[in-house]
Structure 1
Amino acid sequence: MQFDSITRRTWLAAAAAGSLPSIGWGQGAAWPTKPIRFVVPFAPGGSSEIVARSTAVELGKGLGQTVYVENKPGGSGNIAMADVAHADDQHTVILGHIGTLAVNPFMYDKLPYDPIKDFRPITLLAKVPSLYVVHPDVPAKNLKEFIALVRSKPGQLNFGSAGNGSAGHLAMEYLKAAANLFIVHVPYRGTGPQLTDLLAGRLDAASVGAPAILQFIKAGKLRCLATGSKQRLAQLPDVPTVAEQGFPNFEMTQWYGLMAPSSLAQTYADRLAVEAAKAIRSQAAKERLEGDAAEAIGNTPAQFAQFIAQEQARWKPVITRARIKPD
C-alpha cells in the first residue's frame, strides 16, 4: 500500500481542521462510559508496553475510567491494527508505532488496515532512543571495534529484532547502510523472545529501545556499544552516541503515539487528545519514562499527523534499499 503526497496532505489538512471521519452518535453524551481498551500490537516485555502502561494509569485518572493495556502481538503489528481499525465500540484505542505507521505501508504490498483512513492520530506519546548492544562474549568494546569485527567476518555474526520491519530491525539496517556491514538478521515475534536469546548468547547483537534493556546493561549482562540518540544518555554517560563514533548526524529513535479508530466520534477524540497529552506529560509518567531514558512528548493531533507523514517519507527509501519484506 503506497501513500502519495496528495493523500498525506489531505490527511494532514483534515487532522488540523478536526474533520477526520467520525460518526454522529452520542456526541453530546458523557464519555467514556466504560473502561478503555488500550491495545499494544506487540508482545509484552518491550518499550511499547512500558510507554503504554506509563500512559494508561494517568490517562485513566483524567478520563474517570480505567484504561487497561492489552497486548495483541503478531504480523508486525498488523493483526492488532486491523482489529482496532474496525472497532466501533468507541472505547478502543491503540499504541501507534514507527513500524505500523511508517514502515508497514511500504513493506507490505497490501495491509489489512489503512493507517491514514482507518485511524485518527491523537498524540505522539514518547520517543525512545535505540541502543546498540552485544552479548558480553562478543569481543567488541565499542562501535568501531564491532564494525571491524563484522567486516572481518562478513555474514558470520547475527543480530536479532522483534520482527521484520520492527524498530530494532530498522535501527540495525540504518547502521548497516551507514557502515556498509553484512550481518545476518534473525527476526523474532516480539522484544521479549528476542531478549531471551540475546541474554543467553544465542544472538550476537541487537538494537533495542532503552527502557527494555537498561537494567541488563547496568547489570553487565549486555554491553552497550552506542546510543542512537543525539546526545549521550544520563543513564549511560560513558557510552558515546553513534554520531560521536564516526557517523555525523546519525540518529535513531523509536516512537510511540496514541491512535483511535476513525469511527471514534470527534468530540470524544478531542477529549482523548487533551487527556492523553496531559497524561504523558504528568510528573508521574515523565519520571517513569525518564528513568528508562524515554522522552515524553504529548502534542496535538495535527502535529502528530505531520510527524507520521515525515517519518513515512524518511523510512520509505530505507525499506526499499534494504528490501525489507514481511516474515
Structure 2
Amino acid sequence: MQQPPPTLVPGGSGLDDYPRKRQDMNPLIRPLLKGLFVAGAALALCTAHAQSYPTKPVSLIVGFAPGGSADILARLVAQKLGTTLGQSVIVDNRPGAGATIATAAVAAAKPDGYTLLMVTSGHAGSSALYPKLSYDTQKSFDPVAKVGASPVVIVAPASAPYKQLKDVVDAARKNPGKLNYAAGGGGATTTSLAAEFLKSEAKIDMVMVPYKGSGPALTALLSSEVDLGFDIPSSALPHIKSGKLRPLAVTTKTRSSVLPDVPTVAEQGMPGFEVTGWFGILAPAGTPPAVIARLNKEVNALLSDPDTRNKLEGLGVEAASGSPADFGKLIESETKRYGDAIRKLGIKAE
C-alpha cells in the first residue's frame, strides 16, 4: 500500500523550510551577486566602448618640436593609424623640459584612449634626471606598443675639421670644455644621454647646448652654432645625404643599414659602447584593456605593412612588434639601466 507523502510543517525540515533558508542566506549572497553584477556591467561597458572606439579624433602628443625624429615617426604612425581606426589621429607637439611637459599632460588626461603619448627611450631616464616629476614614468601609464628602434648618429658640420670620432676626442682632450654639442629635447633624451655616456667613456669634457627638439638642434648645427650633434638618423639623414653634415659614428652594436659606411663607436676605440634609441606609444594608466588591445593590434598591423617598414627603414628605424606587456618590460629594464647610469655619472638635467 502506498504511503502518504510526509506532512510539510512550517519551520520544520521539509520543503517549507527552503524559502526561509533562502532568505537567511540572502545577506551573504547579495554582496557577492552585486559584485558580480557590477563587474559584469563594467566588463560589458568596456567591451562596448572598445567595439565603438574611436568615435572621435585621437590626440597623439609628442614632447618635441616639429621636424625631429619623434615627430617624424609620430606623423607616419598617425597617418596610418587614422586610416585603420576610421578617425583622425592628430599629432600635438608640446616641446620642453626634456619631453616631461607633454608626458605630464598625458599622465593627467582621461584614460579613455583618446589621448596617447609618443615616447622615446629618453623616457626611461627622465625619473632619474627629474626627481620631482608629477607622474611616475611607469605607474602613470599603460604601454600600448613599441614602434621601432634606431641608433644615435654623431654628426658634425661638413665645414668642421673632424673626419672621424678620434678627431673629436683628441680636440676635446686638448681643450677641455671648449667643444659643444646640440642636444634636441634637453637632458631626458636618448641623444643627450648617448653624449653623456660617450663623454664618460672617452673621459672628455664637452658642453651640451639644449634645444626643444631635433629640428632646432639641427638648424643650429647646420649654421655651425655648435660643433657637434647627437641625433637619430630619421632627422639627420637628409642633411647627411645632401653633404651638409658629416657622420662620424653610430652608437649601436652594429652598423646602421642606412649608414653602412659609418663605423660604430665601439669600432673606434671604445669596445662595448652601445646606446640604442627606441620609440613607442603610451596611454594614461587605467585605459580600458580592450582599447589598449585594439590600439596594439592596429599599430602592429601597420608596422608589418611593407610600405610602412620601407619608410621606417629609409629613416634608419627598425620596425618593432610585440604586446603591451613586451613594451612594458622594455621600459622597466631600460628605466633601471638608464637610472643606474645617470646616478653613477651624476648627470643633471640642464
TM-score by length of 1: 0.89
Q: What secondary structure is seen at the aligned counterpart in 2 of 1:80? A: helix
Identity %: 39
Match in the other structure for 2:76: 54
C-alpha RMSD over aligned residues: 1.7
Spell out the pairing of 1:1-327 with structure 2 (5 A cutoff): 25-29=45-49, 30-88=52-110, 89-100=112-123, 102-162=124-184, 163-327=186-350
Instruction: State the Cα deviation string for residues 180-205 of structure 1 (Å, max 9, x = none).
Output: 11111111222211111111011001
Taking the aligned partners of 1:78 and 1:112, their CA distance within structure 2 comes to 9
Offset at residue 44 of structure 1 (A): 0.8
Contact 1:159–1:205 under 8 Å retained in 2: yes
Offset at residue 24 of structure 1 (A): 8.1
Identify unmatched segments of 5+ residues in structure 2: 1-41
Q: What secondary structure is seen at the aligned counterpart in 2 of 1:27? A: helix
Taking the aligned partners of 1:241 and 1:90, their CA distance within structure 2 comes to 39
Offset at residue 318 of structure 1 (A): 2.1
The one-letter code of the counterpart of 1:44 is P
The one-letter code of the counterpart of 1:186 is V
Taking the aligned partners of 2:130 and 2:64, their CA distance within structure 1 comes to 18
The one-letter code of the counterpart of 2:342 is I
Offset at residue 61 of structure 1 (A): 2.3
Taking the aligned partners of 2:209 and 2:229, their CA distance within structure 1 comes to 10
Identify unmatched segments of 5+ residues in structure 1: 1-21
The one-letter code of the counterpart of 1:253 is T
Contact 2:138–2:331 under 8 Å retained in 1: no
Offset at residue 26 of structure 1 (A): 4.5
The one-letter code of the counterpart of 2:68 is G
The one-letter code of the counterpart of 2:324 is P
Choose between structure 1 and 2 for higher RCO, CA contacts under 8 A separated by at least 6 residues.
Answer: 1
Return 57-66 or 198-207, whichever deviates more: 57-66
Offset at residue 219 of structure 1 (A): 1.4
Question: Which of the two has higher C-alpha Rg?
Answer: 2
Taking the aligned partners of 2:290 and 2:347, their CA distance within structure 1 comes to 39
The one-letter code of the counterpart of 1:156 is K
Taking the aligned partners of 2:141 and 2:158, their CA distance within structure 1 comes to 42
For these two proteins, the number of residue pairs brought into alignment is 305
Match in the other structure for 2:26: none
The one-letter code of the counterpart of 1:223 is R
Q: What secondary structure is seen at the aligned counterpart in 2 of 1:28? A: helix
Instruction: State the Cα deviation string for residues 245-294 of structure 1 (Å, max 9, x = none).
Output: 12222222211111011132111111111111112222222111101111
Taking the aligned partners of 1:171 and 1:90, their CA distance within structure 2 comes to 32
